[in-house]
Structure 1
Amino acid sequence: MNEAYLHATMTDRKAIIGRPLFEVFPDDPAVPNVFGERNLRASLDRAIQSRSPDRMAVQHYNIRRPDGVFEERHWRPLSIPVIGPGGEVLSLIHYVVDVTTDVLQTRDAQTALTASEARYQAIVESSIDYAMVAMDLSGTITTWNTGAEHVLGWRADEMIGRPTETFFTQEDRAAGVPAKEMRAALEQGRGTDERWHLRKGGGRFWANGELMPLKDAAGTVIGFLKILRDRTSQRETEVALAEQSSILRSVTDHVSEAVFRLDPVGTILLANPAAERLFGWPADELVGRNLHETLHHHRADGSTFPAEACIFVRALREGASLIAEETVFFRRDGTPVPVECTNAPLLLDGEVIGAVVTVTDITARKRVAEQQDILNHELSHRLKNTLALVQSITSQTLRSAPDLVAAREAIAARLIVLGKAHDILLAGSTDSASVRTVVEGALGLHDVTGNRFQIDGPDLDIGPSAALSLGLMLHELATNAVKYGALSTRGGTVDLSWTLEGDALDVVFRLDWQERGGPPVTPPSRRGFGSRLIQRGFAAGEVALSYPAEGVRCSLTAPLVGLEAGL
């Protein structure tokens, strides 16, 4: 409720927030045949059932003062339903205008008219904000006060003697509204008037008022008194309120972020469909709950989060804005959700009347950040290993090379193979590479005729370290074959195959290199870095290098589980 509501009802927000409406505002027990509560309940029910605004006639509904004494009050209520995305009524906006002064003045005027014509004339002519029009039983105007001239525009001499329907709209005349009002006044003691009327010149204005019977001293009805007041600005406010509610619903219903409208103490007044999806609460069950106690009651570590320590509660109380504040909210089932929140305060005349809180699920963003951290660590680890391998290759090659030219060529070739192995890893997944792809990448530099290698083996993926080691090993074998072995002659070839052996619990990877058609082979007199690189092979496997006369042979055996792990 706003400040005007609290002032009009003589209540305190903290004393009535969260309490049932009719517990706070019961009927006055001292008034006989009082129907204020019954009529208001019926209006609220009609708004819910029809899902459209329900406007009531002026209601006599006394208000209990803080000292417990009831004070006479008269109201003009309007109930506006807030409709959800499925057509359901989420809540009601109850809008009332205190017309006690108007009613009391009208009552005084009627009393004065009955008691004294002279007094009646004085009151009527002094009420320039009220159009007071007297008519006979046929509806012909007999009196037209200054207020009527001011509100409706016609002078008294222009209107006396004309029918009262003159200032009704064409559609109301066609519907017989003037006659219905007079009949209601006769049957019920008064006829309500809340509709568009015409001014002189055809302009329209929204008026509210009543039609009451006029009686003579004997109590016989001799005519009617109609009292009107221009309420166009209030009508425009009501329409604007309904339009704003509709716009707010349209906007919040179609955004992906959860949106809450809160009152000054953090009670949820509105929750959009995205809030339902994110937190698992139906919107109508969220409305009326405290946001902090329902969704923000614990910290990420599981410790209780008291409201006095919550930045959002403090921002709501102080009317402060918050942008992109990260925290953890909790779903209905207790599941934590990392979120980013924005708080936009709602102010009226400098006073905080609530806030709009937008909540964005950042689970995916957090997951991406975590995956990026893992990738960065993996890249850092792999880079360090690669640099260590480059350092080893360079130092060992320089140590065993006969001259700088040979060293430069050997280093360049080995680094190219290393680079190709890295390209293979990056082109596929970051944690494995195909054996066939590694083989083709390592031997591609040497297969100048396209048919020097006979390659055969099953599809198989191995880890990154194993892929680098295998690439370097095959490069050294191929380099030696080009210099001294089968690939140094036109007809020489190399058979390269790999297989999986053993049972399902102990699978062994076996790779065989066999040179054929080259010059006769004699074992080397010394081992260079290349030979050591070949024989060192895999940390988790064994390499057998032999030199039969028909061609060099190299066999690698290693547990499959070690290769897949990248050992």
Structure 2
Amino acid sequence: MLILNSVLRVQSANHAFYKQFRMRRQETVGRLVYELGNGQWDIPRLRALLDEVLSKDQAVVDFEVEHDFRGIGRHCIVLNARKLAREGDREELILLAMQDITDRRKGEVAVRQSEQRLKDLIEALPGAIYTTDAEGLITSYNPAAAEIWGREPELGKEEFCGSWRMQWPDGTPLRHDECPMAVALKEGQPIRGAEAVVERPDGVLVPLLVYPTPLRDASGEITGAVNMLVDITERKRAEELAERLAAIVESSEDAIVSKDLDGIVRSWNKGAERLFVYTPEEIVGKSIKILIPPDRYDEEDDILDRVRRGEHIEHYETVRLRKDGSQVWVSLTISPLKDARSKVIGASKIARDMTERRRADEHRKTLMGELNHRVKNTLAIVQSIASQTLGHASTLDEARDAFGSRLINLAKAHHVLTRESWASANLAEIIADTVKPHAGGENRFHIEGPDLQLTPSAALAFAMALHELCTNAAKYGALSTDNGHVAIVWAMEGEGDERRLILHWAENGGPKVVPPKHKGFGSRLIERALAAELNGEVRVEYPPTGVVCTIDAPMPVGQDG
């Protein structure tokens, strides 16, 4: 502090002045202020200030001067000046107070630079960040935040969040004054990882994790808050995908199992439980070899080696064990499981039950063999029919008609067998199909007997024999007249291994029967071929009232069908 007279000579100075500017009293008192320190106080702005005080009798308040001072360098000084009057006289004095604010200015510059660096840093960050004042008004935001919001909020006017609208993860609307940033400012506590969803003006929903944190000054008062927004859209999609995949795995009919590289089971779905009967509690954490027959352990070791090399194994058919020890054929598809660094950490295994397919394959092979056998037998029958028919027919037309009729009947018998997959044929169906072309009017045939399944070969033999009986009856017997009829009745006699089939063919109402002088193909087919096929006895009798055929064949329990 200096006190100057009206001509600006120093009248006195305080200790702080001498210390601050490194001057002595004898160098100061009595000198013009502009001469102090070899003229270092000859500052144009100081002259202007003092002229104001002297000429206009005005006080000067907080007048800043920045100047290079000898010995102390460049400093920023705040000057305050006003006139004083000594007691007892009217000589005017000037009080010139000086305050060095150099350090404060440096601090302010440092703060501004720090704030700018922080602003530049926030702008450059890929993460979304914004700030508010203590009232929640948005004071800044970076481009990443504007991108999430889908808009640029107006600074100093919009509160708490720059989004258009907000909602909770369950879709419930969320008001801005209830959002996590508002809660953090109200309660004065940071919030870590709260989940919310912002809605952009275009309707796109963006799920977020938010981290609002109050900011405080040196005294602890809240001056604002900063919030970081983490877009978790991809994470949500991954979670949804994982949930869908888990649902697919759990609901799959196939057994889906995961194991580590030591062969320890880590997961087990419902399909695996159905196939192998073990529950997850019984097998997770145990070796997969519990499912493998001991003689196939090397097979599992080879599979694990291939998995470690990153290989995929598809449609590998093998045998596995159920909980009860029974074996089941399965088709395995095995894929390596990798972590985020693409390191193989285990394997997923899909096992499909192949029991039904293998059974179907075996059945197909059996059918093919049976078909081959049947085709050969059928061709042999056709050859025999052709040979016998042509050998005994008197004319070519007769041979053609007889041969065609016999083939048609053979085809009908085959049709009955085909309906039953060549496993067996019903005797009543064989009889009905064979006699149908000769049925004519009502009551021509009386058919009666219990349900009985015949083997394919027996069914064909019965069909051919019945066809011959029908043909002879139509030409010469009961079916050659309008009033003739035929009774076909069968029954089972005896029990167990002694059980026998007795079938009677009896004609009535036709011309008087005369025993034939020689037997043709039809008679031989009936008496010999049928008897041989059934391993029984076939008798054809010729009473005057009509032909009678009796078939007596063993049919032990378990052999029918």
Tell me the TM-score normalised to structure 2 length.
0.60
Structure 1 position 336 matched with structure 2 position 327: yes
| Segment drifting more, 424-433 vs 116-125 | 116-125
Q: After the TM superposition, which residues 238-249 of structure 1 pair with which residues of structure 2 at under 5 Å, given as runs?
A: 239-249=236-246
Q: Provide the C-alpha distance between the structure 2 equivalents of 1:173 and 1:547, rounded to a whole number of angstroms.
A: 110
Q: After the TM superposition, which residues 204-223 of structure 1 pair with which residues of structure 2 at under 5 Å, given as runs?
A: 206=209, 208=211
Decide whether aligned partners of structure 1 residues 140 and 344 sit closer, same or farther in structure 2, where only a CA change above 3 A counts.
Answer: same
Q: Provide the C-alpha distance between the structure 2 equivalents of 1:478 and 1:516, rounded to a whole number of angstroms.
A: 13
Partner of 2:252: 255
The answer to whether the Cα contact below 8 Å between 1:265 and 1:317 also exists between their aligned partners in 2 is no
Partner of 1:48: none
Q: After the TM superposition, which residues 78-477 of structure 1 pair with which residues of structure 2 at under 5 Å, given as runs?
A: 128=121, 170-172=177-179, 176-178=183-185, 180-181=187-188, 193-195=192-194, 206=209, 208=211, 230=228, 232=230, 239-262=236-259, 267-283=264-280, 286-290=283-287, 292-295=288-291, 297-298=292-293, 302-310=295-303, 313-347=304-338, 348=340, 350-428=342-420, 430-477=422-469
1:544 to 539, 542, 560: 539
Decide whether aligned partners of structure 1 residues 315 and 498 sit closer, same or farther in structure 2, where only a CA change above 3 A counts.
Answer: same
Decide whether aligned partners of structure 1 residues 259 and 120 sit closer, same or farther in structure 2, where only a CA change above 3 A counts.
Answer: farther
* Superposition deviation, residue 529 in structure 1: 1.9
* Superposition deviation, residue 406 in structure 1: 2.6
The answer to whether the Cα contact below 8 Å between 2:506 and 2:548 also exists between their aligned partners in 1 is yes
* Superposition deviation, residue 207 in structure 1: 5.5
What SS does structure 2 have at the residue aligned with 1:511?
A: strand
* Superposition deviation, residue 530 in structure 1: 1.8
Decide whether aligned partners of structure 1 residues 226 and 285 sit closer, same or farther in structure 2, where only a CA change above 3 A counts.
Answer: farther
* Superposition deviation, residue 514 in structure 1: 2.8
Return the letter of the residue paired with 2:244. I
Structure 1 residue runs of 5 or longer lacking an equivalent are 1-115, 183-190, 216-220
* Superposition deviation, residue 271 in structure 1: 3.4
Decide whether aligned partners of structure 1 residues 179 and 517 sit closer, same or farther in structure 2, where only a CA change above 3 A counts.
Answer: closer
Q: Provide the C-alpha distance between the structure 1 equivalents of 2:526 and 2:558, rounded to a whole number of angstroms.
A: 16
Decide whether aligned partners of structure 1 residues 541 and 214 sit closer, same or farther in structure 2, where only a CA change above 3 A counts.
Answer: same
The answer to whether the Cα contact below 8 Å between 1:209 and 1:226 also exists between their aligned partners in 2 is no
Q: Provide the C-alpha distance between the structure 1 equivalents of 2:341 and 2:262, rounded to a whole number of angstroms.
A: 18
The answer to whether the Cα contact below 8 Å between 2:181 and 2:227 also exists between their aligned partners in 1 is no
Q: Provide the C-alpha distance between the structure 1 equivalents of 2:337 and 2:297, rounded to a whole number of angstroms.
A: 28
What SS does structure 2 have at the residue aligned with 1:549?
A: coil
Q: Provide the C-alpha distance between the structure 2 equivalents of 1:563 and 1:513, rounded to a whole number of angstroms.
A: 25
Q: Provide the C-alpha distance between the structure 2 equivalents of 1:436 and 1:197, rounded to a whole number of angstroms.
A: 78
The answer to whether the Cα contact below 8 Å between 1:193 and 1:211 also exists between their aligned partners in 2 is no
The answer to whether the Cα contact below 8 Å between 1:469 and 1:538 also exists between their aligned partners in 2 is no
* Superposition deviation, residue 533 in structure 1: 1.3
1:494 to 486, 493, 497: 486
Decide whether aligned partners of structure 1 residues 444 and 167 sit closer, same or farther in structure 2, where only a CA change above 3 A counts.
Answer: closer
The answer to whether the Cα contact below 8 Å between 1:494 and 1:515 also exists between their aligned partners in 2 is yes
Partner of 2:8: none
The answer to whether the Cα contact below 8 Å between 1:396 and 1:529 also exists between their aligned partners in 2 is yes
Q: Alignment length, in residue pairs?
A: 416
What SS does structure 1 have at the residue aligned with 2:438?
A: coil
Decide whether aligned partners of structure 1 residues 385 and 344 sit closer, same or farther in structure 2, where only a CA change above 3 A counts.
Answer: same
Partner of 2:70: none
Return the letter of the residue paired with 1:282. T
Return the letter of the residue paired with 1:531. S
Return the letter of the residue paired with 2:311. A
Q: Provide the C-alpha distance between the structure 2 equivalents of 1:269 and 1:225, rounded to a whole number of angstroms.
A: 52
Cα deviation code 1:221-270 (max 9, x no counterpart): 8678999784725x556545544433332332333333334556555444
Cα deviation code 1:455-509 (max 9, x no counterpart): 3333333222222222222222232233333333444333332233334552222
The answer to whether the Cα contact below 8 Å between 1:197 and 1:206 also exists between their aligned partners in 2 is yes
Partner of 1:84: none
Q: Provide the C-alpha distance between the structure 1 equivalents of 2:470 and 2:323, rounded to a whole number of angstroms.
A: 65
Decide whether aligned partners of structure 1 residues 276 and 446 sit closer, same or farther in structure 2, where only a CA change above 3 A counts.
Answer: closer
Return the letter of the residue paired with 1:322. I
Decide whether aligned partners of structure 1 residues 228 and 321 sit closer, same or farther in structure 2, where only a CA change above 3 A counts.
Answer: farther
The answer to whether the Cα contact below 8 Å between 1:486 and 1:517 also exists between their aligned partners in 2 is yes
Cα deviation code 1:12-55 (max 9, x no counterpart): xxxxxxxxxxxxxxxxxxxxxxxxxxxxxxxxxxxxxxxxxxxx
Q: Provide the C-alpha distance between the structure 2 equivalents of 1:398 and 1:339, rounded to a whole number of angstroms.
A: 57
Note the aligned Cα RMSD (angstroms).
4.7
Return the letter of the residue paired with 2:355. T
Decide whether aligned partners of structure 1 residues 167 and 495 sit closer, same or farther in structure 2, where only a CA change above 3 A counts.
Answer: closer
Decide whether aligned partners of structure 1 residues 406 and 392 sit closer, same or farther in structure 2, where only a CA change above 3 A counts.
Answer: same
What SS does structure 2 have at the residue aligned with 1:561?
A: coil
Decide whether aligned partners of structure 1 residues 266 and 431 sit closer, same or farther in structure 2, where only a CA change above 3 A counts.
Answer: closer
Decide whether aligned partners of structure 1 residues 171 and 464 sit closer, same or farther in structure 2, where only a CA change above 3 A counts.
Answer: same
Decide whether aligned partners of structure 1 residues 494 and 193 sit closer, same or farther in structure 2, where only a CA change above 3 A counts.
Answer: closer
Return the letter of the residue paired with 1:341. L
Partner of 1:523: 515
Q: Provide the C-alpha distance between the structure 2 equivalents of 1:491 and 1:275, rounded to a whole number of angstroms.
A: 71
Cα deviation code 1:278-303 (max 9, x no counterpart): 3333335554445x4344x337xx54
* Superposition deviation, residue 542 in structure 1: 0.8
Return the letter of the residue paired with 2:432. E
What SS does structure 2 have at the residue aligned with 1:556?
A: strand
What SS does structure 1 have at the residue aligned with 2:417?
A: helix
The answer to whether the Cα contact below 8 Å between 2:494 and 2:500 also exists between their aligned partners in 1 is yes
Structure 2 residue runs of 5 or longer lacking an equivalent are 1-106, 147-154, 164-175
Return the letter of the residue paired with 2:489. S
1:555 to 533, 550, 556: 550
Cα deviation code 1:376-406 (max 9, x no counterpart): 2222222222222222222223333334333
| Segment drifting more, 116-125 vs 239-248 | 116-125
